[in-house]
Structure 1
Amino acid sequence: MTDPVLSLKDVRLTLQGNAGPVAILRGISLDVHRGETLGLVGPSGSGKSSLLMLMGGLERATAGSVQALGHDLTALDEDALARFRRTRMGVVFQSFHLIPTMTALENVATPLELAGHRDAFARAAEALDGVGLSARRDHYPAQMSGGEQQRVALARATAPRPAILLADEPTGNLDGANGQTIMDLLFGLRDRHGTTLVLVTHAPELAARCGRVVPLRDGRIDTEDRQRRAAS
C-alpha cells in the first residue's frame, strides 16, 4: 500500500477551559490513503471537528504528530500552513464563510489569485459551472439560498484541485435535496480527480457513502463501535 496522505500519531489536544485544562483528543493514531473517502462520526463533543481541524493545520496538537502529503504540519508556522492549504488542501465548513461583499465568482477566484494563478477567474468560472452555478456567478451571498452558498463554498475549496478535501458537516445546514446535491458533488470530485475526502458528519446517508467510517467517542477512536460496524 502507498504511503498515507494523512498520518496522525498519538495526537492529543488539550484546551484551557474556565475550570482548567480540558482534554479534547486523547491519543488518536490514524492513516488516510490517497483517494480514500473517510467519514468521522460520533456524538456531539466526541472530537470530530477538532480532529479535522488538526488534519488541516487549523488547530495545533498539544502532543503527537500530524503529517500531510509528507509535511509535518506541527512544525510549520502559520504562514507556511496557509500556503500549504492554499495549494494542496481544501476545507469546507458547515457555515459557508463567504465574503458578503464579493460575488460568487470573486469568492472563488480570490484564493486562486492569492496562490498566484493568472487564470484565477477562468478557473473560478469553471468551478462554479461544475457545481451548477454558472448563472449565479455575479450574485452576492445574500442573494443566494443556503444550498447555493454551500455550493459556492465547495467550488472555492475545490477550484485549486486539492489533493485532500476536508469537510465539516457539509450537509448539516441543508435540506434533503440540497444535501444530496452536495454529496454527489463531493464524491464526483473524488471520482474525477482522485481527491482524498475526509468528512465529519452526523448524516447516516453521507457516512454510508464513505469507503471507511471512523467512530469517535470522548476524544478517542471508539474501537467497540468500529468492531460492531466491521461485523455488521
Structure 2
Amino acid sequence: MAEKVLSLQDTALRLDGNAGPVDILHGITLDVERGETVGLVGPSGSGKSSLLMVMGGLERATSGSVKALGHDLTTMGEDALARFRRDHMGVVFQSFHLIPTMTALENVATPLELAGQDDAFERAAEELDRVGLGKRRDHYPAQLSGGEQQRVALARAAVPRPDILLADEPTGNLDGPTGRAIVDLLFGLNETLGATLVLVTHDPALAERCGRTIRLEDGRLRDAEMAASG
C-alpha cells in the first residue's frame, strides 16, 4: 500500500483581512503519496499558495486536519513545527528568501547548522556543486543573478535530504531557459532523493511534467488529472 506523505481532511483556512475575516480554503480533502509529483494550478487568488503553506505548516489551518508523515501539523506548537520542517521539508519560494549577509555556502549550510550537523559546510559545498554553483560558493546573494539565487535556494531546501519538497512558483521570477533549468533540478531531486514534490505554478508546461495536476478555484478543489505518461 502506498504511503501517504501528506493528508488533508476537510481543511479550511480563514485569514483576517482589512474588511474582516476572509475564507481562503474551503474543506480541502487531499492525499499525496510518497514520491509523487503534484502540480497545484488555478487562477490567481484561487488559494494555491495558501494550500501549499498549509501543507508546510507555514499557515495554520483554521479547521480540519493537516498530516505530514503521520504527524498532525495543526496540533503542533511553533517550535515543534519549525523542527519538523527543518528535518523533513524543503521549501522553495518565488522570491528566494536568501539571507543577504551570508554567502551562498553559508545560506545552504544554515539548516544543517541549526540541526547540529558537524559536516554542515562540507555537505553544503557538495549541494552547491550539484546545482552548478561550486565556483560561486563565496559570493553573496547580491552578487548572483536571479537564476543563481534560485539555485542556492534550491540547494538549501535539498541539503537536509527532505521527504517533502514544496515549491511556490519557483520559476516565476526567472526567464525561460533559466526557469527550465531550475525545473530540471527540482524533478531531479524527486528522482534521486525520492522526495515528494508539490509545486504551485501558472505554467502549463511545468504542470504537465507533474504526475498529477490539481486545480483550485475559489479555495476549492475542482479536479485532478493524472499525467498520461506517469
TM-score, normalization: structure 1? Answer: 0.96
> What is residue 221 of structure 1 aligned with on the other side?
221
Separation (CA, whole Å) in 2 of partners of 1:38 and 1:167: 10
> What is residue 195 of structure 1 aligned with on the other side?
195
Task: Please state how far the C-alpha of 1:162 moved relative to its aligned partner.
Answer: 0.1
1:140 aligns with 2:140: yes
Residues 30-86 of structure 1 deviation map (CA, whole Å, 9 limit, x = unaligned) = 000000000000000000000000000000000000000011000100000000011
SS at the partner of 2:142? helix
Alignment of 1:82-97 (within 5 A): 82-97=82-97
SS at the partner of 2:4? coil
Identity %: 75
- How many residue pairs end up in the alignment? 228
Separation (CA, whole Å) in 1 of partners of 2:88 and 2:76: 14
Task: Please state how far the C-alpha of 1:3 moved relative to its aligned partner.
Answer: 2.9
Task: Please state how far the C-alpha of 1:20 moved relative to its aligned partner.
Answer: 1.8
What runs of 5+ residues in structure 2 fail to find an aligned partner?
A: none
> What is residue 66 of structure 2 aligned with on the other side?
66
Deviant stretches of 4+, over 2 Å: 226-230
Separation (CA, whole Å) in 1 of partners of 2:178 and 2:18: 39
> What is residue 170 of structure 1 aligned with on the other side?
170
What do you get for the CA RMSD once the two structures are aligned?
1.4
One-letter amino acid of the structure 1 residue matched with residue 64 of structure 2: G
One-letter amino acid of the structure 2 residue matched with residue 48 of structure 1: K
> What is residue 11 of structure 2 aligned with on the other side?
11
> What is residue 126 of structure 1 aligned with on the other side?
126
Q: Relative to structure 1, is the Cα distance of residues 122 and 227 closer, same or farther in structure 2, using a 3 angstrom cutoff?
A: closer
Q: Relative to structure 1, is the Cα distance of residues 122 and 12 closer, same or farther in structure 2, using a 3 angstrom cutoff?
A: same
Residues 98-137 of structure 1 deviation map (CA, whole Å, 9 limit, x = unaligned) = 0111100000001110011110000000110110000100
One-letter amino acid of the structure 1 residue matched with residue 92 of structure 2: V
> What is residue 28 of structure 1 aligned with on the other side?
28
Separation (CA, whole Å) in 2 of partners of 1:44 and 1:76: 30
Q: Relative to structure 1, is the Cα distance of residues 58 and 228 closer, same or farther in structure 2, using a 3 angstrom cutoff?
A: closer
Separation (CA, whole Å) in 1 of partners of 2:84 and 2:74: 13
Q: Is the 8 A contact 2:212 2:227 kept in 1?
A: no
Separation (CA, whole Å) in 1 of partners of 2:159 and 2:226: 38
Separation (CA, whole Å) in 1 of partners of 2:107 and 2:61: 30
SS at the partner of 1:44? coil
Separation (CA, whole Å) in 2 of partners of 1:179 and 1:229: 21
